[in-house]
């Protein structure tokens, strides 16, 4: 029996960035591990601020051949030369984003814990579907994307899947055979040393 490929790592930025220090911090993390993609996931609606962050993160990411997508802002993805968009409204915007950004852009879809939304997003043309949170998460309503959802998805559906939200080293070990990507954000950025935090979180993958 073939050993499944190891899941890839997908970084999610903090909701607010200090552009004086974050690009260097991001560069250190990218240089410490193989990262497949970064999601710029800012809480602000200030387009100028988002644009400056997009420029800064794109420079760091593209220098290392890492794709950069942005949460929900299709127009900013186009304007700032990003690689695509991560949609947070399940399957609703996938077709429109794909039409706007073209066939080569990355279009991902966050589907919470809904198998149905995930299937709809995949059918609408999403490049990946994200489920979460997989662990206890301050922002959630207590609903968790269970291991069974990832098991079913990995057996039945071709579209790559991301496990994100509330990850721990134990969850990474348990979900590794059942997911294509781990979406890692506050788990490392809230630590004093994100590089060490990432290494500890993903120790089961080595």
In a domain, 1, yes or no: no
Report which of 100, 189, 112, 56 is spatially closest to residue 85, judged by C-alpha positions.
100
> Are the beta carbons of 128 and 159 closer than 8 angstroms?
yes
> What is the reported pTM?
0.95
Predicted local confidence at residue 146, as pLDDT: 95
Give tens-digit pLDDT for 154-179: 999 999 999 999 999 999 999 999 99
Segment 7-21 shows an average pLDDT of 97
Total tally of structural domains belonging to the chain: 1
- The whole-chain average pLDDT of the chain stands at 95
Give tens-digit pLDDT for 31-45: 999 999 999 999 999
Give tens-digit pLDDT for 45-86: 999 999 999 999 999 999 999 999 999 999 999 999 999 999
CATH code, domain carrying 163: 3.20.20.70
Segment 78-100 shows an average pLDDT of 97
Indicate left, alpha or beta for 136 from its phi (over 0: left) and psi (-120 to 50: alpha). beta
Predicted local confidence at residue 142, as pLDDT: 79
User: How big is the CA angle at 197 (ends 21 and 131), to the nearest 5 degrees?
Assistant: 95
Q: What is the DSSP letter of 104?
A: T
In a domain, 2, yes or no: no
Kindly state the helix (H) or strand (E) to which residue 40 belongs, with its residue range.
Answer: strand 35-40
- For 157-188, b where at least 16 C-beta lie within 10 A, e where not — what string? eebbbbbbbbbeeebbebbbebbbbbbbbbbb
Which residues, in sequence order, are bridge partners of residue 71? Answer: 86
Could you list the residue range(s) of the whole structural domain that residue 189 is in?
Answer: 8-205
In a domain, 3, yes or no: no
């Amino acid at each position: 029996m073939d050993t499944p490929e190891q899941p890839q790592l997908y970084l999610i930025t903090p909701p607010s960035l200090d552009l004086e220090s974050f690009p260097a911090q991001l560069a250190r993390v990218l240089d410490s591990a193989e990262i497949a993609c970064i999601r710029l996931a800012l809480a602000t609606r200030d387009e100028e601020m988002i644009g400056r962050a997009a420029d800064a993160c794109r420079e760091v990411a593209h220098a290392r051949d890492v794709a950069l997508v942005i949460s929900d802002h299709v127009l900013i993805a186009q304007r700032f030369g990003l690689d695509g968009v991560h949609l947070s409204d399940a399957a609703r915007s996938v077709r429109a984003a794909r039409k706007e950004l073209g066939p080569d852009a990355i279009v991902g879809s966050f589907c919470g814990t809904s198998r149905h939304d995930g299937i709809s997003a995949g059918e609408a043309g999403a490049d990946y579907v994200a489920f979460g949170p997989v662990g206890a998460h301050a922002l959630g309503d207590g609903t968790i994307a269970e291991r069974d959802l990832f098991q079913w998805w990995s057996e039945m559906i071709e579209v790559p899947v991301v496990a994100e939200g509330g990850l721990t080293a134990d969850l990474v070990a348990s979900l590794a055979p059942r997911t294509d990507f781990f979406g890692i954000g506050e788990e490392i950025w809230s630590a004093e040393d994100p590089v060490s935090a990432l290494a500890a979180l993903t120790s089961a993958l080595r």
